[in-house]
Every structure is written in structure tokens, then in C-alpha cells.
Chains A and B, each alone.
Chain A
Amino acid sequence: MSGLFSTLSTSNKGLQVSQTALQTVSHNVSNAGTKGYSMQRVQVVTSLPLSNGSGVGQIGTGAEVSSITRVRDTFLDYQIRKETSISSQYSARDEFLSQVDAIFNEPSSTGLSKDLSSFWNAWSQLASSPESTTARTLVVSNAKSLASTLNQIYSQLEELQDNAGLIIKEDDFSINGMLEQIKDLNAQIKAIYISGQTPNDLLDQRDLLIDELSKNIEITTSEGEFGGISISARVNNGAITLVDCDNEKYDSGLAYIGSLDYYIEDDSLSERISIEGTNSKGQIESIKYNNVAMDLKYDPSGSISGVQIDGTILSGNGDTVTFSDGKQMTVQSDNTLVVDGQTISVDSDTGKIKVDGNDVDINSSGQLIDTSSNKILFDGLSFKLASGNTFSSFSYGDEDVDLNNGILTVSSNGSSISFNGSKGTISVGGEDIAISALDSSNIKATATLYMEGNTNRVLRIENIDKDRWDDFSACNVIAFNYKEYSKFKNGKSSFDTTIDYDQASSFGFKNADFISGSIKGYRSIQDEIESYKEQLNNLAKVLAISVNEIHSGAGEGISFFTKEAETSSEAAKVISVNSILDEDPTKVNAGTVIGKTSGDGTRANLIARLKTTKIDILSIDSAESFINNTGLDLENFTIKGSSSGTTLDDYFNSLISELGVSYQEASKMVDNQESLLTQLETRKESISGVSLDEEMINMIQFQKAYVANAKVINAVQTLLDSVLSLV
């Protein structure tokens, strides 16, 4: 049999339950608009009943709050995060592709296709009025506009690529920040769980951070002890653990590697040799020694075919020098020189110099003079003879070239660099350097840069995000950069000459090839822009090669576009109209005979016909390959064209439709993902969201319960009063 006090205590519990419920209603209402908040519910259970000795059974003792829980569907969280990653990957692509689309601005009346068509039409017009100066000026001005559009598009694309890099860098930074916060929250949550409570609001905060994180990278989560959560990034060949909730010391993050700098440190050399960057094929493009930069040239098979030093190119079997103005000099085995198609030889008995077999004079500055016309042959070229009347050294302009047993040495600004063409080696300051290309296709950094005969060599990579680096104990640094997949830094100071991927990963390096997320989007954009740049380069290169070949009559006259565009790996960036023609458009060749202006527009017509000529653009890397591919015949001024290629116009049009397809896909994916996400989020809202109407009803319910409990207390009080009045 329970007493009145027992009833009072039951009502008191009732009051407390109602109060807690009202407090939760008020918490829910306050957070109705808070991001990431999930509705909380008070779980009420009946308290333990009293056993009654009188045989009527157990007597209830009221209600009590067992827990306050979040209403949340974790599977929905998983779905939302996964789709968010995909959605933001495509948003990133969509955002950048819209900029790429704006740069190309096609189809329009101002884009590159318009410039290209005006360029061909200008040639056609010149072919129709070959004696006209105006038509020539039009050809030059249209070509200038075409070249500058190419230059402009190219540099804008480059800028965009860099911007994507910057965004990745910023994203890395914010990801690292979020990972820190998640780690902190893990610690707090664990502490509260251990004390037996549920930190609903902290859980909400952590979930929100994980939601945010899934925008940047696709992640998987797994629950650990006491409410902790471990987070891994999903990458192509597995996963990279970012947060390990069961190991507090585990520290990992992302580092952005903007550029890598290799150099040889060698006590025996006073100067450092550094590698200055690589091209898209992962080949080392340039080496700097003593502040003199050498650019390396590769043949299609990937071996080094030449070295360019200050504009002078050493190539072939160590016997050909191409000077900065394009003039070529070849040293032949019979100790004769071939310069510009003319043979220079020395009579070994008399030491007299002959050009094409005719005697010539040498003036005091070492220039060759034609005896009959008193004209200087090969202006700027001079040379010395060695004993035995063989050529020993040459100079052309400011550059000195030495020849010694087939090894050419160029001296410039006090540094000398030699190239042994037959061995394919380069030597700097008397030491041979061997270089092999980086091979990015199988992610093996096989860059070996070494000095023959020296063992003390170090390859160091610098310019990494160092501050972050030092914070990591168990390093999981992830390298991002579209060109830098295969390059890694070791954790501490330096490592040996050759590193490969396996070794690098043992230092804690992983190449972050994420499955999805905005970083994946930006990285794919960098690659895609690279491919557009590549296509523009191909276009510009073939344009320059084809127009130059016809305009110059296979090198007889001046070239139309600068020669640089024919060989440069960034043809679209460097292409421009030959400055001679820019200054004097009347020098444009239109007729069969070079340098003659008449009513003959055969040459201009042939150039205009390039417009409809099919070319296997990818197979063209020189005038020779162009002739082979298209059957260009400069004797009869005909061009057959390739049976399988495309026209230059079509090549560009395909680029645009490729861009269109990719942009369309990104846009559609953004739309699809958005509607999918909206659906998921509204579902989440439907489950975890706060409904004000519902809360009001709850409020009324608990308010009434509170009042009812109070009434019971009131009743008990009356009862007690009447009992006490008996006393």
C-alpha cells in the first residue's frame, strides 16, 4: 500500500518528465533553422513499480526520462555523402568547363574558327588578285589575328589550369582544417560517451563536418569505440586513412606539391645543376647549370636528340649546330662545313678556304668574302683553323662553338656545355651528365640524373608545403599536381638517386587519385585543359609547318609564320607571323616564282587549298612528314591530302564538339545529382527536420501533462490537509 507521499513523488517525476520534454521542444524550436541539426526526442519510460505485500500486484511509480536521442537515419547520411562527392566533382567540372567554353567562345562570329576561316579566305583573295598589296596586307593582318587568338586562348587556358591548382591547394588547406576539427570532436565525444551520456549536439556537428568533407573528397567512415569515427579517403586502388579514432597519435593530411625541384649536390662542383621542369610526357625539359639554361630536345622514341643553349641547338651526331636565327651548320666527316647549303672546305696544303669549290677571301674579322662580287658570304660567321688546316672553332654572333672529335661545345656567358651526339651525352663543366626521362605512365619515377664518375650525389625535391609536413608524424602526404603524379619527396631530408613508387610510399607518400569529390573534378579539369592545349599546339604546329613549307617553297624563301612554331612544344603559345612580313607585307609570296609579284597566284591558291586538305595531324612533326602525309608537290603545286586525316578546320571543330560533349555531360550530371541530392536531403529533412506544428502539439501535450501533474499534487495536498486537520 503506497502512501500519499509516494503519490506526491510520482507526480513530481511527472512534472520533471514534462519539463524535460518541454525543454527539448524549446531546443528543437530554437534549432529549427540550424544547419545539420537533427530533431531530438525525449524517450520516456515507466519507472520501476513497487511490489505490494497486500496481494493486489505492483503499484506504478510514474514515468522517467530514459534518454534524449537524435532522430537520424545513418544510411541516408551515407547516401547523401556519396552523392555529394559526385555532385561536387561535376560542379567543379561544370564551373571550369563553362570558363573553357567562354574562352573558346564557339560557335560565334568572333572565335578561332572565324579567324581560321578569314585566314584561308584572305589567301584565296590573294590568289584571286595576286598583284595586290592590299590583299597581301589582309593576309598578314588576318594571320596576325589568328596567331594572337591562338596565343590568347592558350594563355587563358594555362591560367585556368593554374587556377584549378590554386583551388586544389585551398581545398587541401580546408580539408586539413576539417580533419583537425573532427579529431577534436572525436576526443570530446569519446569523453562524454565514457561517462554514459549521448552528446547529440556534438554528433550533429561532427556529421556536418563529414558532410562538408565529402564535398571535397569521397570518404568512407567506420565507427570505433565510444562513438569515435575513423575516416578514409577513397582512392582508385584502395583507401587512405585520414582519421583513425582508435589511434590518437595518427596524424595525416594532404599536401599540395606545386612544383618539384631536383638538383645535384656535389662537393666537387662549385655549381649546382638543377632540373627546371618537365613536359607533359614527363621528360625533363630543361637543365640549368651556372645560370645557363639548356633545353633538351627529344626524338619520337624518347631519346635525347639535341640540346638548345641560348637559342643555339646542337643536334644530330654531334655535328650539326642550328643557330638562333635558324641558320644550320653541319660539319662533315671529310672536314668540310656545310652552311646554308653551301660547302666550305679548306685546302689542306695551302690552307685556303673555298666555298662550293671557288676560292674566297677572308677579311680581318674572319668573314668570308666572295672574290668576284666582293660580297660577304655568311654574315656573322667566322672560324679558326687548327694545325693541319682543319676547322677548330666557329663563332656566329655572340656564340662560340668548338669542335673536337665530333663533340660540339657551345660557350656562352662564360659557361661551356658540350654535346656528344653519337653518345647522346651532355657534359657540363667537363663532367658527363646522363639523363633519362621520367615515365609517368607506370608511375615510376625513373629520373636518374647523375654525374659519371661521381658517387656523392643527392637528388632533392624542394618546394613542398613544408609547414604542414613537419606536423605529420605518421605521414600520409598526398601529392597533387597534374604533372607531378610521379614525383615524391621523402619525409626527412634526402634520398638516393633513383626512387620508385613503392619506395616513395614507404616514406608515407601516396598519390591521391580520388574516386570523386571536387578535388577529383579540378584535377580532371587540369588534365582536360592539358588535352585542349595539346590539340591547339598540334593545330598551330601543323598550320605553321604547312603554310611555311608552301610559302617558303621548301625553305627557298622566307617562312610565313615564325620557325619556332614548327618545333616548339607550345606551338599555340609561340606562333606569330614572321616579323619581316609584318613590317613589309609585300614580301608575301603568291606566285610560282618566289619573291616575284605578278598575276600568278598559284602559291597563294595552294595555301588557300590547305583549308580543304585532309591531314593526319598527329603524325606531322616536320615539313618532311607533312609532305609524306599529304603528297605536297611544290614542282607542280598540287596537294593530294591524306586519305584518313581531317582538315585543320575540322580538327578544331572536333575539339569544340569534344568540349561540348564534356561540358554537356558535366552540366547534366550536375542537374541529375542536384535533383537526386534534393530528394535525399528532403528525405533527411522529413526524418530529422523540426516540424513547428508537431512541436506545438507536443508542447500543448506536455504543457497539459504538466498541469495535470500539478493538479494531482494539488489533490494530494488537499488530502494531506484533511489528514493533518485530524491531528
Chain B
Amino acid sequence: MRITTNYMTKTYLNDLNTNLENMTKLEEQLSTGSSILSSKDDPFKAYRTMQLSTSIASNDRYLENIEDAITWCDSTSTSLSEMISVMQRVRELTVQSGDGSYNDTQLYSIQTEIEQLKDELMQIGNTEIDGRYIFGGDETTRTPFSNNEGFIMYKGSDRGINKELAQGVIMDIAAVGNDFSVDSSEEGNMYSLFANNTAIIKGSTTGASGYEDSGDLTISGNYDISKGKCSIHMEVLSVSNKAVTGVKVTITGSDGTSSERIISPEDGKIDLTNELGIKISIDDSLNNRAGNTYDFDVKPSIMDGIIGLLKNGKSAADLIEQVDNKLDKLLYMSSDCGAIQNRLDTMKSKNKDQSLNLKELLSKTSEVDISEAYIQYSSLKNVYIASLKTGAGIIQQSLLDYLD
């Protein structure tokens, strides 16, 4: 083979450049710590890297959801225990009231204590974290329990709070106030614990439905507990200037008898003091229309029942069974909450394991093996230096150097 002057320089420059290219590539990998700097380096690994980064990000997001849920459940659990101890005290007092030797003063002191305990129950029911009420179901932004001149209403929702804690795992983490205070579900158990539910009234209206669109209901006064459970059906007859001006009220008692009356609200209140001891008001609303209907139940509450009996100087011992029922319910909810907490703890550690696995996988996929890369780099450096020296040695020489 004939070797010419340009042949040598061309080949030499080419090889030198290849050396430099290899070194630059390794140098980039070493300085970034990543072996996939561009999708061309390894399209499949680049794809995996992107997938893994996304999975890690969403896993981190799930961890935050889990931790949020844990705080929520911790707080729920504490509140439920507080409620249980309040109810245990109520039970003690109720048992005491059955002691025939108690005189009126003693009964009165029991009555006042129970009144306090009723308020305390309501306060616990209104516990909040970060401005979110924990017992209002998914109505976290409005106070679930309110006391209107003695009548305690639950204005939360009957739906729980769903949180996505892992991909496809949606868990209801809420203890809903509706469950312990109102007991709308328990047929045969006439009594609610301390509040009546009006928030979940299903109103059928023309063009609108429920409290959401039509006027909000508020009930005040002291419900006549001797009436037992009553179902109330109201139909709006006339509306003027957003306010309800006429309404037909049908009250169906627990024995099935019903009475019907047409009332014009005074000061916006539908006065049922004579029938039930309460007043109902419908807020002014754009959606108040003639033909709107409201259906809801009113029940005596245990706390009011006990207070009422004691007021009349009677023993409240008959209601112990009711108290026990509620206590059981609370205990059940508390253990349910505990179960959720356990599950959350498991999920948290599982999430962390998963995160660790994903990160390890990501590191294996895209991170550079520093020691290996460095050794390669060193050997490339040696090759580069050697080639420089050789080039300098050979290219300078020519026959010209030896001609006179």
C-alpha cells in the first residue's frame, strides 16, 4: 500500500477525533451522573426513565395523600374517644337518675350536667383540622352541627371522604357525623343522639332539587319529644320576592296519623310550636318556587329526652338502652377508625417500599456507574496522550529532513 503525506495526517486526525469524541461522551456522563442524556443514547431506557420518574412523582403524591389521611384519622379517633367518654358519663348520670332516693336538687344537678354534656358532644362534633370539619362528611367547609334555640341540626352530608391512596385504591376515610348523631338508617330506633338531620333533605322541586338549589332549611325551638318520630312534608304554595309566603305542611306521626295545615310564615318562620314545639324557616333563595317540596323526619334526641325527663323530676333510666345503643355505635365507629388507621400505616410503609424500589430501578436504568466510567475515562485518557505523542513523532519526519 502506498502511504502518502496527506494519508497519514488524515488518518491521524480522524483517529484523534474519535478518541476525543469517546472522552467527551464519558466526561458528560461523569459530570451529570446520568448515562441517558438524550433519548438517542438508549431509546428504551429513556422511555423507562420517563415512566419511572412519573411513577415516582405520583407515588410521592400518594404518600402525601396517605399522610393527610393519617392526620385526619388520628384526629377522628381522638374525637370519637372523647365522645365515648362523654357518653359514658351520660350513662353513669342516667343510671344515677334512676336511684329513687335522689331528690329534686340532685336530679337538677344531673340535668344541668347532661345539658353541658350535650353541648360538649356538639362541640366535639364540630372538631376541625386546617379549617376542615371532620364530622361533616364531604361538607367539610360548613359547620356540621348548629344549635338553634335548643334544636341541634346536622347540616353535613351523608357521603364520606374518598381519597386515592394508591393507584386505583380509593378509600373512604371519614367518620360521618350523620352516622352517630342522627341514625337515620336505624329503623325502629326512634331516637337520635343529639342532633336532627335536615341537611340531607331530599326536596323535589321543579327545575331544581335538594337544599343546594332551593332555600336552606333551619329548624329551631325545642322538639316535643312525646311526639316521637314525625315525618314532615312541606309544599311551597307562593313565593314573593325570593321569600316563601305560603306553605302547606303535612305532619305524619309515628303512629301513621297525619294532619295538614296551610301556614303563612311570619318573619320567614313556619310556626309549628303548637304541634311539635319547633319553628321551620326557609331561606330566601332565587330558586324558591311554588311547587317546591321538602320531605324530612324530625326525631327526639336522647339527650333532649333525658333532659326533658329530669326537668319533670322523673328518672331517665328508661333511656339507658338507647344510650347503650349509641355507645355501641360510637365504639363500633371508633374501632372502624382504628382499622382504617392500621390500613393507612400499612399503606404508608408499602408506599415507601415502592418508592425505594422505583428509585433503585431508576438509578439502575439511568445512572452512570461512576467507578466503571472513571476507569474507562482514565484508560481513554492514556490512549489519547499516547496518540498525541505518536502523531508528533511520525508526522514531522520526511525525506526532506535528510536531504542536503
Contacts and interface: CB of A to CB of B under 8 A. Distances in A.
Decide whether A and B are members of one complex: yes
B58 A611 contact: yes
Contact of A107 (B46, B58, B286): B46
A107 B45 CA distance: 10
A690 B6 CA distance: 8
A656 B51 CA distance: 11
Interface string A84-107: 000000000000011001001011
Contact of B10 (A609, A664, A678, A690): A678
Interface stretch (B131-139, B223-231, B264-272): B131-139
Contacts of B399: 692-693, 696-697
Given A131-B140, A598-B157, A690-B5, A657 B46 contact: yes
Contacts of B49: 107
Interface in A113-157: 113-114, 116-118, 120-121, 124-125, 127-131
Interface stretch (B163-171, B309-317, B348-356, B370-378): B163-171
A656 B50 contact: yes
Interface stretch (A329-337, A408-416, A581-589, A600-608): A600-608
Interface in B227-243: none
Contact of A600 (B3, B159, B167, B400): B159
Interface string B1-35: 11111110011001000000000000000000000
A694 B398 CA distance: 10
Contact of B43 (A116, A609, A657): A657
B159 to A, nearest CB: 7
B1 A660 contact: no
B50 A106 contact: yes
Given A664-B40, A664-B43, A32 B141 contact: no
A360 B81 CA distance: 60
Nearest to A109: B53
B50 A107 contact: yes
Contacts, number: 175
Interface residues of B, number: 58
A494 interface: no
B212 interface: yes
Nearest to B61: A121
B38 interface: yes
B290 to A, nearest CB: 11
B366 interface: yes
Interface stretch (A174-182, A237-245, A646-654): A646-654
Nearest to B55: A117
Contacts of B68: 128-129
Nearest to B2: A686
A392 interface: no
A598 B140 contact: yes
Given A120-B58, A598-B157, A650-B51, A691 B2 contact: yes
B47 A656 contact: yes
Contact of B64 (A128, A661, A693): A128
Contact of A101 (B38, B140, B142, B159): B38
B117 interface: no
A660 B43 contact: yes
A682 B11 contact: yes
A120 B141 CA distance: 24
Interface string B335-370: 000000000000000000000000000000010000
Contact of A653 (B2, B51, B170): B51
A694 B162 CA distance: 88
Tell me if A's interface is mostly helix, strand, loop or mixed.
helix
B400 A696 contact: yes
Contact of A599 (B136, B168, B170): B136
A428 to B, nearest CB: 45
Contact of B7 (A97, A602, A661, A689): A689
Contact of B212 (A33, A593, A690, A694): A593
Contacts of B132: 129, 131, 599
Contacts of A384: none
B44 interface: yes
B377 to A, nearest CB: 20
A597 B141 contact: yes
B78 interface: no
Given A101-B39, A659-B39, A692-B5, A117 B138 contact: no
Interface residues of A, number: 66
A142 to B, nearest CB: 12
A609 B170 CA distance: 11
B139 A598 contact: yes
A294 B6 CA distance: 64
A653 B50 contact: yes
Contacts of B53: 107, 109, 113-114, 117
B319 interface: no
Given A663-B38, A663-B40, A686-B2, A118 B57 contact: yes
Contacts of A597: 141
Nearest to B289: A372
Contacts of A598: 138-142, 157
Contacts of A600: 138-139, 157, 159, 161
A106 B36 CA distance: 9
Contacts of B286: 373
Contacts of A32: 5-6
B7 A682 contact: yes
Given A117-B53, A681-B10, A686-B3, A107 B366 contact: yes
Interface centre among B42, B142, B163, B168 (most CB of A within 10 A): B163
A121 B164 contact: no
B4 A685 contact: yes
A104 B37 CA distance: 12
B37 to A, nearest CB: 9
B390 interface: no
Nearest to A375: B286
Nearest to A650: B51
Nearest to A609: B164
B215 to A, nearest CB: 16
A661 B57 contact: no
B141 A131 contact: yes
B46 A660 contact: yes
A32 to B, nearest CB: 6
A584 to B, nearest CB: 17
Given A596-B212, A682-B10, A693-B399, A605 B170 contact: yes
Given A124-B58, A687-B2, A656 B40 contact: no
A107 B39 contact: yes
A604 B323 CA distance: 40
Contacts of A602: 162
Contacts of B222: none
Contacts of A593: 212
Interface in A637-671: 649-650, 653-654, 656-661, 663-664, 667
A599 B58 contact: no
A599 B139 contact: yes
A280 B163 CA distance: 44
B394 interface: no
Contacts of B38: 98, 101, 660, 663
A113 B50 contact: yes
Interface of A: 32-33, 97-98, 101, 104, 106-107, 109, 113-114, 116-118, 120-121, 124-125, 127-131, 373, 591, 593, 596-602, 605, 608-609, 611-612, 649-650, 653-654, 656-661, 663-664, 667, 678, 681-682, 685-687, 689-694, 696-697, 700
Interface of B: 1-7, 10-11, 14, 36, 38-44, 46-47, 49-51, 53-54, 57-58, 61-62, 64-65, 68, 131-132, 136-142, 157, 159, 161-164, 167-168, 170, 174, 212, 286, 366, 398-400, 403
Given A106-B39, A685-B7, 11 more contacts: A597-B141, A598-B138, A598-B157, A656-B46, A659-B43, A660-B42, A678-B11, A689-B7, A690-B4, A690-B6, A691-B2
10 contacts: A121-B57, A121-B58, A593-B212, A598-B140, A599-B140, A600-B138, A601-B162, A678-B11, A681-B10, A685-B7
Top 10 nearest A-B pairs (CB, nearest first) are A599-B140, A660-B43, A660-B39, A689-B4, A600-B138, A663-B40, A691-B4, A657-B47, A599-B138, A664-B40
